[in-house]
Structures are given as C-alpha cells and as structure tokens.
C-alpha cells in the first residue's frame, strides 16, 4: 500500500486502522516519509510581504552586512505547500497514542485529562502576546496571575514561599538543592555537608541532580514494606549530609507512614528535607509537606495540575520552600508592592481586580541563588495551572486525590491475584505490580506484557521502574478515567495473564496492530542515525518512493 492511502483506512473514530486492534497484514505498512522527502524546489507555504521602497531608501546609508558573515548556501529546509505539510503532520499525529484517544496509565507521569478551557486561557491574546520584558505597568495581569498562582501553591503545600521559575520537575530539584547548598554555606557548613541521601526507589533525576550540584549521592535502602528504612536513614544522617531527597508518596505508590519520624530525624541532623512533589496529586488536602516540616518541594504542574505533557514537555517545576530557605529563592520574584494581600486574594477569588494594587518583579534579593532560567519561567503553564486550580477549587482538588487513590486501589484489588504485588498494602495514586510470575513460569517478560497491551489501544504502564521491583509494572489510572475504562483495563490485563499461560508466544509476538512492530533499539544505539542525510545534490527532486498524495475520503 502507499503512504497516501493510509488516511483512507481510518475507522469511524478517526484513528488509524493500526490502532483498531482488528487490522493485520498490509495495513501495518502505514509509513509517512520524512518531510524532506516531500520537498520540491520552489514550492511554498507561508509568504511574507516585501519591504517598502521607503524602508530600503531610508536604510540605504547603513553599513552593509559584509560577505564574511553571510552564508554561502541556504539551509536546505523543506519546500512544501501548506496542505502537504499539514497532511504530513496530521498523518504523523495519527501514529501517536494520547490521552485524548485512550487510556494512558503510565505510572509516575499522571496522564490525566487536560481540560480544554486551560488551553483557551493560555491562548488569550492579552497573555500569549505579553512580552516578558514589557514594562511592569503594562504587565500587571501577568504578574497578578503569577502572584495568585504562587499564593495557591503555598496554600496547597503549606510552604510560606514559592518560586515559579523552574521549567520542569528536574529543574525544580536543581533549584532546591542549590538553595540547600546556599543555606549550608550561609551557616558555614558548605564545605562539610557534601552528601545527599536518596532512597533506592527514587526517580533517576534525584541522584543526577545531586551530581549537578556537586554532591555525592548515598543510596538508602527501602524496608520490606516499601518504605524508607528508618534505621538505615538514621545511620546515614550526620554532619556531612546536606539533604535527604524523598518522594512521598514513593515511586511504589506508597505513603511513607513514618514520614513524621523521617522529617524529625533529618531536621535534627541539620540536613535539608527535600520532598520530590511528583506524586502530590495523591495527597491534595491530606498532607502538606511544608506544614509537616519539609524545607523544599517541587511541584510538577504538568502532573498534579494537568498542563498537557506535549509529547515530552513543556512542563513546569515551581518550588515551595520553608522560611529558612526563602532568602535563597531564584530571582526575580513577583511581589505585591502596593496593596493588601488579603484584600487582593479575596477580590481575585471573587473575580475582581483590586484598585491600587501594584505588582512588581523583585530582583533585589542578595542571598538568592540567582536565575535558573531566562525571564520568569514557563508562563503558559502557569496560566493553565491557575485555570485548573480555580476550576476545581477546594472541593475539586480534594476530589482529585480521593478519586485517583480510589482508582489505583480498585485496580490493585482487581489484579492482585493474577500479577504479583511485591508490596501488598494500601496504595496511593499508583500501584506497582511485578510480572515476575509470568516471566518465571511462562517466559513472558514485562516488556512482552507492555507490548501486548498496545494491541488493545491502551498505553502500557511504566515498566522496569522503580528499579527495586523485579519486572515492574507501574500503573497510574488517574482520577479522570471512568469505571468502565478501569474495568476494560482489568479485562485486558487478565486476558494477557491468561494468554501468557496458554499461548505465551502470542504475547512475545506483540504488538501486531501498531504502525510499526518492536524496534531494534540496540541497532539504533550502535549505529546512531540522528538526522536526515541529504543526497549529494541537495534535496531529492523526485524520489520514487513518494507518491502523489491523494485526497483522503471523509
């Protein structure tokens, strides 16, 4: 079959036949050529006006760009019509799974519904076209929005101060550890406190961040119940420890039920308590890390507050801090310079502006760690998160965690007889199964199970993480999936477990209905092909492999 015909074989839902679960044979060859292969010299999409005669005349006396700075050959960008390029990207879109198409229980990533009103808000011209260096008098709306979002995040987390600047969770970690180090330096302990403690269940970003800040990582083992081993923690804490980084609920989806003792031990040792807030969506209104004694936490706005994941970003990773870390926050900070904060909040919650209120960006903070990103952070994500928090409100935020935890525990109970559950206790928003039984008894690995799930139009759970669970399957259903979807997933998972027993080869062959089958990752790493290679003469003029696109039928 040809490339051009691919769109004609979509089912009524608009999805590629390859995802319908019923296709086979030649339907599998849905391939879209690279945009470079669609290029034809002089074809165009967008055009720009020409400069006026006056513009050329008035600038005539200015210095010319010398030949020495000019490029000799134009970059070989694709030359395509607007329709051709639109079809190209639309066809690529059809090769993706996404939340808006189907269930996406990718543990740790919180793939829940991204409300569309948030997108509407982020596209408002008054916000999207606001320049980050516009004079403060012209930017009061952007600054008020940032200030209000920070106020809400403070309430949610129990921290007295927040910076919105970090661009992602890992970036928030970097910011947090830099502040921890600045704190120790200010206390004359910068040279002695050189280690960061990280549980063995932690995200890889935690130890990687510690290294970026020049710290040595010490791994703390988990106990048999999946929590941090308090004895091992106490033994490791001491005058050379700068911080503990702990994810709570942990990557096992388990709340650290000794968290009060963990925080106390860290405080007592003089170290900084860092809570990785990746799983905050499980505990809204139930546990506030700032109130519980942590010093710093990053929020993942793209997880808990449902800004879209965008195929891998952008996210946003604001940090909340205790009062002892506040002086070290990145600059600038949006602050309310004139006006009563209580009155401004009250008015905003009622949808009113406060006459006379004036916001500024405060860069005059002498103990600040500096800037971690250009300008003020991923503002478009702030708009979405603010919209989301205001839409949900008090009751809605609590319901998010309640329903997320309810759904995860429901899946735990419905599947624990067919998949091993290494830590069989109440979970929070996600539950980690092990495929070890299927591997040992039937030679079906967790990777095979994941690939078999693909054939059901469901994105697989996170696999092989956390590292402390053999053949891990980390399932995060989120609060926005209906009971019918959860039950369907249970059916799929039980069916796969049964087939692993009766017909293991069928699982090992999966997937069979996706646009491509299992890909050779080893070859990709051995012989890296990371960019399009142009033919010697430039872009190919008429490669035989690219047919003339035909109009898709409705």
Q: Which residues, numbered 122-161, are part of the site for other proteins (CB under 8 A)?
A: 122, 124-135, 137-142, 144-145, 152, 155-156, 158
Q: Are the beta carbons of 198 and 217 closer than 8 angstroms? A: yes
Q: Are the beta carbons of 319 and 277 closer than 8 angstroms? A: no
Query: Tokens 């609590």 identify what position?
Result: 398
Identity of the residue, 43 or 501, whose beta carbon is nearer to other proteins in the bound complex: 43
Residues within window 24-63 making contact with other proteins, judged by CB under 8 A: 28-29, 31-32, 34-36, 42-49, 51-52, 54-56, 58-63
Residues within window 211-230 making contact with other proteins, judged by CB under 8 A: 211-214, 217
The verdict on 295 binding other proteins (CB under 8 A) reads no
Number of residues in contact with other proteins, rule: CB under 8 A? Answer: 216
Which of 276, 269, 288 lies closest to 245, judged by CA? Answer: 276
Cα separation of the two ends of the chain: 19
Q: Are the beta carbons of 367 and 179 closer than 8 angstroms? A: no
Task: List the x/- string, 239-278, binding to other proteins by CB under 8 A.
Answer: ---------------xx-xxxx--x---------------
Residues within window 358-387 making contact with other proteins, judged by CB under 8 A: 369-381, 383, 386-387
Instruction: Single out the segment in contact with other proteins by CB under 8 A; choices: 3-11, 266-274, 404-412, 437-445.
Output: 404-412
Identity of the residue, 212 or 501, whose beta carbon is nearer to other proteins in the bound complex: 212
Please report how close the Cβ of residue 438 comes to other proteins at its closest, in angstroms: 18
> Binder to other proteins among 2, 22, 92, 505 (CB under 8 A)?
92
Which tokens in the block code for residue 470?
Answer: 């053999």
Residues within window 164-183 making contact with other proteins, judged by CB under 8 A: 167-171, 173-174, 178
445 φ, ψ (degrees, to nearest 5): -85, 170
269 φ, ψ (degrees, to nearest 5): -80, -5
The verdict on 285 binding other proteins (CB under 8 A) reads yes
Can you say whether the dihedral through the CA atoms of 320, 326, 332, 338 is positive or negative? positive
Can you say whether the dihedral through the CA atoms of 446, 451, 453, 458 is positive or negative? positive
The Cα 299–Cα 549 span in angstroms is: 46
> Binder to other proteins among 232, 236, 348, 472 (CB under 8 A)?
348
Q: Are the beta carbons of 279 and 248 closer than 8 angstroms? A: yes
Please report how close the Cβ of residue 272 comes to other proteins at its closest, in angstroms: 15
Task: List the x/- string, 484-523, binding to other proteins by CB under 8 A.
Answer: ---------------------------x--xxxxxxxx-x
The Cα 150–Cα 169 span in angstroms is: 16
CA angle 536, 541, 542 (to 5 degrees): 125
Identity of the residue, 420 or 481, whose beta carbon is nearer to other proteins in the bound complex: 481
Q: Are the beta carbons of 468 and 201 closer than 8 angstroms? A: yes
Residues within window 316-335 making contact with other proteins, judged by CB under 8 A: 316, 330
């Amino acid at each position: 079959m040809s490339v051009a015909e691919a769109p004609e074989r979509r089912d009524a839902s608009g999805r590629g036949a390859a995802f319908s679960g019923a296709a086979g044979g030649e339907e599998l060859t849905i391939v879209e050529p690279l945009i470079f292969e669609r290029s034809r010299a002089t074809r165009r999409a967008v055009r720009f006006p020409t400069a006026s005669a006056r513009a050329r005349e008035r600038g005539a006396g200015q210095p010319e760009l010398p030949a020495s700075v000019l490029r000799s050959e134009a970059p070989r960008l694709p030359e395509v019509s607007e329709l051709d390029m639109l079809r190209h990207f639309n066809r690529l879109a059809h090769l993706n799974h996404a939340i808006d198409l189907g269930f996406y229980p990718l543990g740790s990533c919180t793939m829940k519904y991204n409300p569309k009103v948030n997108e509407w808000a982020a596209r408002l011209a008054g916000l999207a076209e606001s320049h980050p260096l516009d004079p403060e008098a012209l930017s009061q709306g952007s600054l008020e929005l940032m200030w209000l979002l920070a106020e809400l995040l403070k309430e949610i987390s129990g921290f007295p101060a927040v910076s919105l600047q970090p661009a992602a969770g890992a970036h928030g970690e970097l910011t947090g550890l830099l502040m921890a180090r600045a704190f120790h330096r200010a206390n004359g302990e910068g040279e002695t406190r050189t280690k960061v403690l990280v549980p063995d269940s932690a995200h890889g970003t935690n130890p990687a961040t510690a290294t970026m800040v020049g710290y040595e990582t010490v791994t703390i083992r988990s106990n048999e119940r999946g929590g941090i081993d308090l004895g091992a923690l106490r033994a490791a804490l001491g005058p050379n420890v700068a911080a503990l980084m702990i994810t709570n609920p942990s990557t096992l989806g388990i709340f650290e039920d000794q968290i009060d003792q963990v925080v106390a031990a860290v405080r007592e040792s003089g170290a900084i308590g860092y809570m990785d807030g990746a799983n905050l969506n499980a505990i809204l209104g139930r546990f506030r890390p700032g109130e519980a004694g942590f010093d710093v936490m990053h929020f993942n706005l793209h997880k808990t507050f449902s800004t879209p994941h965008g195929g891998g970003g952008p996210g946003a990773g604001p940090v909340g801090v205790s009062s002892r870390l506040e002086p070290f926050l990145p600059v600038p900070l949006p602050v309310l310079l004139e006006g009563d904060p209580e009155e401004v909040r009250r008015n905003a919650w009622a949808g009113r502006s406060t006459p006379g209120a004036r916001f500024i960006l405060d860069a005059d903070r002498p103990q600040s760690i500096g800037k971690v990103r250009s300008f003020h952070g991923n503002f478009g994500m702030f708009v979405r998160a603010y919209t989301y928090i205001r839409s949900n409100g008090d009751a809605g935020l609590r319901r998010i965690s309640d329903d997320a935890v309810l759904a995860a525990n429901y899946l735990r109970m419905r599947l624990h007889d067919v998949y091993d559950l290494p830590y069989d206790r109440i979970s929070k928003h996600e539950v980690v199964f092990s495929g070890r039984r299927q591997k040992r008894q039937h030679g079906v690995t967790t990777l095979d199970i994941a690939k078999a799930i693909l054939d059901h139009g469901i994105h697989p759970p996170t696999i092989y993480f956390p590292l402390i669970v053999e053949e891990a399957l980390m399932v995060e259903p989120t609060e926005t999936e209906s009971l019918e979807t959860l039950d369907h997933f249970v059916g799929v998972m039980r069916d796969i477990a049964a087939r692993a027993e009766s017909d293991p080869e069928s699982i090992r062959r999966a997937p069979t209905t996706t646009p491509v089958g299992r890909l050779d990752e080893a070859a990709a790493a051995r012989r890296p092909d990371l960019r399009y290679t142009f033919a010697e003469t430039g872009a190919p003029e008429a490669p035989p492999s690219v047919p003339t696109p035909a109009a898709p039928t409705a």
